[in-house]
Amino acid sequence: MNLSAFKFAKNLAIIISFLSNVLVVNGQNSLVRVKLDTAIITIGDQQKLTVEAKGIKGDKITFPSFKDTLVSHIEVLGVSKIDTVFLPDKNSVILSCYYTITSFDSGYYVIPPLSVVINSDTILTDALLLSVLTLAVDTNKVIKDIKQPYDSPWSIYEILDKIIIAAISLILLSIILYYFIKNRKKKPLVVEEKVEVIIPAHITALEELQKLRDEKLWQEGKYKLFHIRLSDTVRTYIEKRFGINAPEQTTYETLQNFRSVSLDDELKKKLRQLLTLSDMVKFAKENPLGNENEMSIQNAIDFINGTILILNTDKEKDGKL
């Protein structure tokens, strides 16, 4: 969405939300009330939905309960404790419950009337309208890489914990080594030779990428499955090729480990782009364009072809795609 379209959508949302709020105020129930801090949010922003109920001291008031979804496209992130305020007459009370909500899909969503039970009576609140806008993107500006998280310093407890673990590991290793040397002197060590065929890591990874490309998952709308398999294939290759435990690390941790690896900057950039886009699809429900999906799998192929470990250049083929 360009800037002009974004401004138009935002102005339209303001008009609709204003008309909605006018209708809510005119139809407000005297015993229950529902309101939003603001009727317009951007995708991913958190919003507070307040439900209030007025009653007499001693009334049993039950607020609506939600698991993780208020309505379709609106998620509930948390629910506060009940807040009680006594009115000047000392007999009337107002109870309030706050729901933290958000949405990751742009559009205009109606929050239907919510049920509040006062003693044995069920009372409905008014309906509300929530407008969720997309982020404004200025296509005239250069696209920049996503900023990486900042490093946090280790605490004294973390340092002590690592020292203790290292000491225990050293003691266990010494005990095992002692018994190994002791038993080796008593019994001759019999070694059975086994011929094991080891398939190079790049051959397995390139075969998986070719299979993933042939299955055409993202063309069928299966973006998340496509990027999960793409990311897993590359991370497994990194673990076998460089000894980096990439399958168990975050993208940031994996890229940090490559700072000490002698590698072409262009290959590091391609690795960062494909892993970052995969994270956006898996955790932020991003739906990349077709050329972005194809670029990701090509970046993976280029990264593997550019980091092949050739043991014997006279006998072993590189297996490039």
HEC profile of 241-305: HHCCCHHHCCHHHHHHHHHHCCCCHHHHHHHHHHHHHHHHHHHHCCCCCHHHHHHHHHHHHHHHH
204 is written with which tokens? 């397995």
Sequence-separated (6 or more) residues with CB below 8 Å from residue 233: 205, 208, 209, 212, 300
pLDDT value of position 26: 35
**8 Å CB contact between 112 and 124:** no
- Percent of the chain's residues with pLDDT above 90: 38
Q: Where in the chain is the domain with CATH 2.60.40.10?
A: 3-133
CA dihedral 16, 21, 24, 26 (to 10 degrees): -110
Query: Lowest mean pLDDT: which of 5-9, 83-87, 156-160, 226-230?
Result: 5-9
Confidence tier at 153 by pLDDT (50, 70, 90):
confident
Confidence tier at 8 by pLDDT (50, 70, 90):
low
Distance CA 6, CA 71 (A): 25
CA dihedral 57, 58, 59, 62 (to 10 degrees): 110
Distance CA 237, CA 250 (A): 15
- Percent of the chain's residues with pLDDT above 70: 80
Q: For residue 109, list its beta bridge partners.
A: 130
**Which CATH number does 3-133 carry?**
2.60.40.10
Confidence tier at 159 by pLDDT (50, 70, 90):
confident
Give residue-wise pLDDT tens across range 12-30. 555 554 454 444 333 344 6
pTM equals 0.39
Confidence tier at 5 by pLDDT (50, 70, 90):
low
Does the structure show a pLDDT above 90 at 315?
no
Give residue-wise pLDDT tens across range 179-189. 888 777 665 55
222 is written with which tokens? 């299966």
CA end-to-end distance (rounded Å), the chain? 36
Give residue-wise pLDDT tens across range 244-269. 988 998 999 988 888 888 888 899 89
Query: Lowest mean pLDDT: which of 2-6, 42-46, 119-123?
Result: 2-6
Does the structure show a pLDDT above 60 at 271?
yes
The percent of the chain in helix, strand and coil, each rounded to the nearest 5, is: 45, 20, 35
pLDDT value of position 28: 40
| 3-class DSSP state of 194 | coil
